[in-house]
Amino acid sequence: EAGVTQFPSHSVIEKGQTVTLRCDPISGHDNLYWYRRVMGKEIKFLLHFVKESKQDESGMPNNRFLAERTGGTYSTLKVQPAELEDSGVYFCASSQDLGQSEAFFGQGTRLTVV
Amino acid sequence: KQEVTQIPAALSVPEGENLVLNCSFTDSAIYNLQWFRQDPGKGLTSLLLIQSSQREQTSGRLNASLDKSSGRSTLYIAASQPGDSATYLCAVDNYGQNFVFGPGTRLSVLP
């Protein structure tokens, strides 16, 4: 069974550009989460999908970030326009049952904004 | 607001030693607690999941305990090996919504 996969693994963009990160959760997992770690800080929650619906987006830093999960399968996280402070590692995770089962994380996308 | 701390921040031990990593959280109303390891430049690998109704979980040389009332969890690693070197993260699941992560313990096991 494939795990959570994220694409790209690395992205270097200039300030003001747009970047789209993709996450493919484990098949059958309704819950999909985005987290990020910025330099020197803890991993922080961004948002949570249940199927295609946003269950909780309280961690999204501002309106430059847009997450979608069309059809309840893969998800994208778009940053537009990117700022220097958006640099970090963006992790995606999925789980089967809310609060009851393990969460499985992807390898992360390392975003560098220059 | 849930806060998670981990001590020590870093630990270096000779191969073969048993060791304990500590995790503390401020709000005891949790759904579960999960321990992860992260190797440099890699993603997070799930080690153990403890439900709020459980006291401990074991997997191989790893044993994790949970004391909800005192807001503590420990990860015990028996007979440590150089391959155990990594950062160990404790994450608390609040109400089944999302994880709050601790800062991690960076472990080095010396051959």
From A34, which residue of chain B is nearest by alpha-carbon distance?
A: B98
Q: Does A55 touch chain B (CB under 8 A)?
A: yes
Which residues of chain B lie closer than 8 angstroms to A102, CB-CB? 34, 46, 49
pLDDT of residue A99: 65
A42 part of contact set with chain B, CB < 8 Å: yes
Kindly list the residues from chain B whose CB atom is less than 8 angstroms away from the CB atom of residue A99.
31-32, 93, 95-97
**Least Cα separation, residue B2 to chain A (angstroms):** 12
Q: Are A30 and A93 in contact (CB under 8 A)?
A: no
| Tens digit of each residue's pLDDT (9 = 90 or more) over A35-92 | 999 988 999 999 999 999 999 999 999 999 999 998 889 999 999 999 999 999 999 9
Instruction: Tell which residue, A74, A77, A79, has the closest CA to residue A112.
Output: A79
Measured CA to CA, the distance from residue B61 to residue B26 in angstroms comes to 28
CA distance B33 to chain A (A): 9
The one-letter amino acid code at B92 reads: V
Say yes or no: A60 contacts chain B, CB-CB below 8 A.
no
**Are B101 and A43 an interchain contact pair (Cβ–Cβ within 8 Å)?**
yes
Q: Does A33 contact chain B (CB < 8 Å)?
A: yes
B97 pLDDT above the threshold of 70: no
User: Is A106 an interface residue toward B (CB < 8 Å)?
Assistant: yes
Cα–Cα distance measured from residue A11 to residue A58, given in angstroms and rounded to the nearest whole number? 25
In whole angstroms, give the CA distance from residue B73 to residue A18: 41
User: Using 50, 70 and 90 to split pLDDT, how confident is the model at B1?
Assistant: confident
